[in-house]
Structure 1
Amino acid sequence: MQSADIVEEAPRSEWREGWPLVLTAALGCAFAASHAVTMGAFVGPLTGEFGWSRGEVTAGISFGALGSIFLVPALGPIVDKIGARKIGLLGPPAYAAGLLLISLSGPSIYGWYAAWIAMAVLSLFISPLVWTMAVASRFERSRGLALAFVLAGMSVGAAIFPFAAATLIENFGWRVAYRVNALAALVVVLPLALAFLRDARDLRAAQTDQPLEPAAVVPGLSLREAFRTRTFWQILAMLALVAGVYNAIYQHFQPMMTDAGMTAIEAAAIAGIIGPVSFAARLLTGHLLDRFSPPLVAASAFAIPILSCLLLIGFDGDPVIAGIAIACCALASGAEIDMIAYLGARYFGMRNYGAIYGFIFAGHTLGWALFPPLVGVAFDRSGSYDAALMIMAVLLVVAVALAASIRKPPMRDADP
């Protein structure tokens, strides 16, 4: 066989053997975000039943965001040590338990908060860290596209779960909606995880009938060695900036639209562009990462939402401009999460993938959580989003510069 044929066969072999894992991981990621993407459907029923304010209800999800910042980095080294399978098999039952606890909340708001604090811990076992670690270890030549399909599961879930939750709430009540979600996680994800959730070390151990090899013999950097590289901090800062700007625009987009004279329904319809565009962007980004320089792909993707900021400055209510602006923003949202998994594995190897992913994800989440309230404060003080949008455009320029200046990635199949 010619060398070119060998190169062509490698991706085919990866997909032939690994597609059940990719499908399982995509479904796992879809369910991992279901409690967050359905929150809007529960606000009305909870405020109506218990008299809680909207701020009190939605504060529950903030505990999950804070938990991600502190707990995902702690989970990473555990996944590195014992593998994705042992953690992932706990995921659906733990997640279902968290949903059941939420369904038992009320009438005290503190019980609601306690349930969400428990969910912040229990949802770790079904987090994207687990699923992407398994897939990244099994795919090399098609790693970008494989991870894109996995994380696209979150986009599909964001389109399906809110409608399903609203339908269940309308017919059976909010408690039943949470319990059906819990049951679905067990029935759909757990059997597939039992059958297909195996990372590369699991396969090697099964083939040789030997215990899992120690992490030391897996190519890659230690967490401390990664900390000492400029590349690690460039990636972390770049993704924190992009995530912060994206979430700030997303959270404030509909208020911007209604301020300009649109109805709430018109604004929501335009905001709905995010789902399909981010889904397509994930797959396109994954395809490009497998074929072109990762810094070039990242810089190109993160330059596009600069246009979003500029178009929304002085926005006058034109729906075409609004659609272009949110679509450009969605292109970046479809790339940023994928970059955590791909760049972590590509630049630092699989030896401590979980630990490195956890710290980069924490930085990403910190930016994601901080920017929206800061933009809100800027609006409250000035009565306009224009100054905040200009600052965010400048921050995206910084993110693009960070991406473009990342060093060339190491050769494939080599220890970084």
Structure 2
Amino acid sequence: MTMRRPWIVILSAALIVTLAMGVRQSFGLFMPQMSMALDIGRETFGLAVAIQNLLFGLTQPFVGAIADRHGAGRVVFWGALVYVSGLALAAWTGSALGLHLSFGLLIGLAMAATTFVVVLGAVGRVVAPERRTLAFGIVTAGGSLGQFLVVPGAQMLIGELGYRIALIVLAGVVALIALLALGVAGRPEGGPDGGPSQSLGAALREAAGHRGYWLLNAGFFVCGFQLVFIATHFPAYLTDNGLGLAVGAQSLALIGLFNIFGSYIFGLSGDYLRKKYVLSGIYAVRGLVILLFLALPLTPASALVFASVMGFLWLGTVPLTSGLVGQIFGVRYLSTLYGIVFMSHQLGSFFGAWLGGLIYDRSGSYDAAWAAAIGLGFVAAILHLPISDRPVARLEPTPA
């Protein structure tokens, strides 16, 4: 692979994810002002975020395949331009349709090209297998750092200048991703795994016949549902209960802060412990944490503690899940195969964002959505246990 040194690729990938995910995680803060300005309900706003997550996922395998063929740099560059266009359109739209086209269509496509699947494929091909999950954890932590840094700034901009100017400023921040694309540029030619060569079709058939691959897909669906429901609706939930938008912004920032540590620690653990057991533990603990949060009286302190604990568990699934895909199937088509798993994550994200708003608008409460997040967490914990995590055996090269 004709690419930069590993540390340059890792650093560039982490910064790309920092900016792309940091801006995206602030979208929940725009709900109150945009809902009033556009005269829309939470279901409509949630649907825009849901469309974004759905397209983020549905296009991910195709974007991953392009990155596997032509390199991550080109994909990230064009994705950054689409991201900037989506934010600019959202700033000046005056209708629900415009919101769905900007926050939904354009930013959904842009996220597929500027986040984990594309950049982790580039990182996986320049890092030795025994340090790969840790490298994935470092890049994933970049998304958390972005949330910690960008969300408070976005909240300040919204409060001082209004949501339109805030979106334009964020568009300028996202434009930096186009420059960072140089750090992950390079044409993929393989990775440090060795072993027989393989065509993309053979890789897809191999994964489709592996039960553990489908269990990873199911588990990541749950991850998407939980995270996007909380990221989209938690600030509004706190506001409904009299805590104010500032506590919501502080909570999102704490999620980002503690996920820096969680992503690194869980990434490190994946190089020493069996990844499927760590994943099972993360999902089980998430369910317990949500259950305890709802059972205790809601106060600013309980909200911030909940955000901190959930933040530690937030994206720890990313280095472990992508690491499992690379461990089982190798890294030649990691962006494609992990892209399919990530598509499942985004299907869950769609339902987490949309159903959260739908349930609230119909019942006046988020109770049913919280219950679904708890139950699905325990289901995901069970699903990971039977995964066979041994590398697949390939006795003979598969002709390209």
TM-score in same-fold range (> 0.5) = yes
Q: Which range moved further: 289-298 or 120-129?
A: 120-129
Q: Which range moved further: 65-74 or 316-325?
A: 316-325
Match of 2:243 in 1: 263
Normalising by structure 2, we get a TM-score of: 0.80
Q: Contact conserved, 2:27 with 2:232, CA < 8 A, in 1? A: no
1:173–1:238 distance in 2 versus 1, CA, 3 Å: closer
Match of 1:301 in 2: 282
Summarize the alignment of residues 245-284 of structure 1 with structure 2, pairs less than 5 Å apart.
245-248=226-229, 253=234, 263-264=243-244, 268=248, 269=250, 272-284=253-265
| Alpha-carbon shift at residue 411 of structure 1 (Å) | 8.8
1:338–1:412 distance in 2 versus 1, CA, 3 Å: farther
Distance 1:275 1:32 in 2: 13
Distance 2:276 2:269 in 1: 11
| Alpha-carbon shift at residue 134 of structure 1 (Å) | 0.4
Match of 1:106 in 2: 93
Distance 2:213 2:232 in 1: 28
- Match of residue 315, structure 1, among 296, 300, 303: 296
Q: Which range moved further: 306-315 or 17-26?
A: 306-315
- Match of residue 136, structure 1, among 120, 124, 133: 124
- Match of residue 398, structure 1, among 361, 379, 384: 379
Distance 1:68 1:23 in 2: 23
2:57 partner amino acid:
I
Distance 1:393 1:303 in 2: 9
Match of 1:29 in 2: 17
Q: Contact conserved, 1:24 with 1:193, CA < 8 A, in 2? A: yes
1:237–1:122 distance in 2 versus 1, CA, 3 Å: closer
Q: Which range moved further: 40-49 or 27-36?
A: 40-49
Distance 2:60 2:280 in 1: 26
Unmatched segments (≥5 aa) in structure 2: none
1:134–1:333 distance in 2 versus 1, CA, 3 Å: same
Q: Contact conserved, 1:344 with 1:356, CA < 8 A, in 2? A: yes
Greater C-alpha Rg:
1
Unmatched segments (≥5 aa) in structure 1: 1-15, 205-214
What do you get for the CA RMSD once the two structures are aligned? 3.9
Summarize the alignment of residues 214-363 of structure 1 with structure 2, pairs less than 5 Å apart.
216=197, 222-248=203-229, 253=234, 263-264=243-244, 268=248, 269=250, 272-317=253-298, 325-363=306-344
1:183 partner amino acid:
G
Q: Contact conserved, 1:39 with 1:58, CA < 8 A, in 2? A: no
Which structure has more RCO (C-alpha within 8 Å, separation ≥ 6)? 2
Distance 1:111 1:377 in 2: 20
1:128 partner amino acid:
F
Match of 1:189 in 2: 177
1:113 partner amino acid:
H
Q: Which range moved further: 289-298 or 307-316?
A: 307-316
Q: Please list the CA deviations of residues 350-381 of structure 1 after superposition, one character each: whole Å capped at 9, or x if unmatched.
A: 23222212211111111222145556767788
Q: Please list the CA deviations of residues 34-74 of structure 1 after superposition, one character each: whole Å capped at 9, or x if unmatched.
A: 44223245445545655555655554333311211321122
